[in-house]
Structure 1
Amino acid sequence: MTQVFKIVPTTQKYDWGKIGLSSKVAQYAAAAKIPGFTLDEKAPYAELWMGTHPSGPSRLAGSDTTLKEHIAAYPELMGEKVVSRFRDAGAADGNLPFLFKVLAIEKALSIQTHPDKKMAEALHKEKPDVYKDANHKPEMALALTPFTAMCGFLPLNEIATYLSATPEFATLVPATIATKFIVAASSADPSSPEAKTALKDLFAALMTAEEAIYKSRLADLVSRYEAGGACEQEAGVKDLVLRLNSQFPGDIGVFCAFVLNYVKMQPGEAIFLAAGEPHAYVSGDIMECMATSDNVIRAGLTPKLRDIPNLVSGLTYGAGDASRHMVKPAAFDSAAHTALYDPPIPEFSVLQVLIPSGESETHPLIEGPSIAIVTEGKGALEWAGEKLGVAEGDVIFIGAGTGVKLYAGEDGQLAVYRAFVEAS
């Protein structure tokens, strides 16, 4: 049994995906010649899944055997520590505790949050047809191309500024709630119970506004912006409002532009979304890693089921600059061409590997399994006297306890993203 081998990912077509070869998902699938993949230049290619999730399980290259089945047969690939730490998540049965993805986003994803473990268990028990597992779903997005997203609540004073500057937004919030919020924004510690309660009341009032009223106010807002009537305080949100409304006309989720941070990220920048943090990806191509779960609570910008009561009750109501969600890259051992993105959860970390033409990089053994994808260039992986050639689009599984050396070809940079779990 070899410790390193290629696996075949699955592609997902959702209406928010980028079309044809404009999508990184389609580019990688085409480059790797995924069996059964035929490019449709008119189809939206939204996600590439790499892992053991039952809705899109990876298989061993040249085989019908799923990755989960193979790991279950050879548990040493998972590693004893990971099996022990994540037994409740099915690690003993071959389930990886993380799911690694490429996302290609043309149309905004829904305003959403993910439950913590306790809430996930309760939702699964109450509505198993909607919340299909009892696991939490923290996630990290690492930009491959310029990427935009809404994430976390704005600083309270910025929301208060929009309440004063944007009448269409302000009229959706009862005056007593707005007044209470403005007082809290000017005097309370943002982390205090008073501030969190004021923010929760404001957000709940916004998301439960009467449909006829918010549709009318949104139409007024869009007309004003299209006529050039945005005031100075609205300059940073005008284009986002118009973009979201063009994709989801008359949707209450458009007003979330006035309460959530709007971040514009460059390749190599990453954000982490813990349980209870509201967010929506807006555009761009990313690497995404998450705990293996399907639990999403939605409230806007979506044709899918909206669960506003559970979304409102499940948020943490932390407020502040978007920098609090950023994941700063760190050194990985002594590897010169590798950056470590290590969010504050045990299920996963991600390595970005950018090796210049003709050079190599050594990764020490990791006491857990890894999945890596080549996003640029050609090269090879070497381990325990074996060697495997790789190229753009190839996806590789690396078993626990395996040190590897990566080589870039002579004709350009080798770019690899590697997700792993290492239980201590």
Structure 2
Amino acid sequence: MALKVRSFFAPAAPVENPDQVFLRQGTEMYGEGVALRVSARGTNRISELSSQFQKIAAESEIQDDVRLAGSGLFGFVSITFAADSEFESAVVIPAKLTVIRDGVSFVTEISEVPEKPLKKTPSGVFLQGDQSATGFIEATKTAIARINESALEKVVLARDLVMPLSGEPDLQPAIQRLYARYPHCWTYLVEDNFGASPELLLRAETGEVSARVLAGTAGRGTDPDVDRAIAEGLKHSTKNQHEHKFAVESLVQTLSSVCENLETDEEPFSLALPDLWHLATDVRGRLKSNVTLLDAVELLHPTAAVAGTPRLPAQALISELEPFDRGGYAGPVGWITADGSGELAIALRGGRIEREPALQIRAFAGCGIVAESDPEAELAETELKFKAVRYAFGS
């Protein structure tokens, strides 16, 4: 479908009730309405979305007076974790996009923005979901046993919480709370998926790519000296170093087939968030010619940080032990443009709106399980990770 796309500089102005957002300190992207949505399911869902978006770009009339990352034909992206998910993966091209970056603002217009339906701010408490705390502990024990008796080295298991809703929710207050509390995370609302992810899957601009691997977690201390000791302990924890190494090696091995000049941090660093410490490693490189951002993402997803290693046995065990469909949780989420730029985080520290069989919010939190894992400690880690979504809704 041919679209008429126009990007132009415009004074920064508040966007009331955007339909899609992608926010991080220094960059705010707000989408209003939907000019076009393309979707896909199954094993080839990422390549199908890439092909559809490239076709739209080739057919569209694009007037880009801005020529910065994010201008021109733009699409918000949400991709499911699993190929067999009942949920769709999609690229959503907004009717109007407002971008505010480091004091510079511009707008992309494609079509009229429709009137927005009335929504209400969600309230309530999160209840145990399909995977109870007891069920998660038992699943973790099973995973450890499988790791000890097979070639499986790591699997990432999640549990869920649900909040029943009485009407179509307005997520903007929750999104703004997340953005204010976690400014260095990637705060997102795309399709029905939302959260504040600390993990960048892949960013591309003029062919240069970067990624951030997170694996290994500890809670923050209330006393500064204790907090520093926790960060040091995390860096020297055998279990967490083991888990982190798997995630980094998996990402580098995969990226090496589509990238040149790959570089990684020599040692992981401790990344501080308001509630947690994470072990983190940054990776940088350059995409080979004729390789798109979504081409690379298709190879990378799911990473060892959200699935496990080896990947296929880990995915099979997730499917066996998790009694829910992850949908967009732990899948790529972010944006792409016609010129090849884009930024895709991993959809973490949040959840999704569900409408069937009942209207509710389902939140997710997961942990990397390795041979040294302790089930009770892994359960406690999920509670730490749920702090973000509980804070967002004041629950």
Report the TM range for the smaller structure's normalisation.
under 0.3
Task: Give TM-score scaled by structure 1 length.
Answer: 0.22
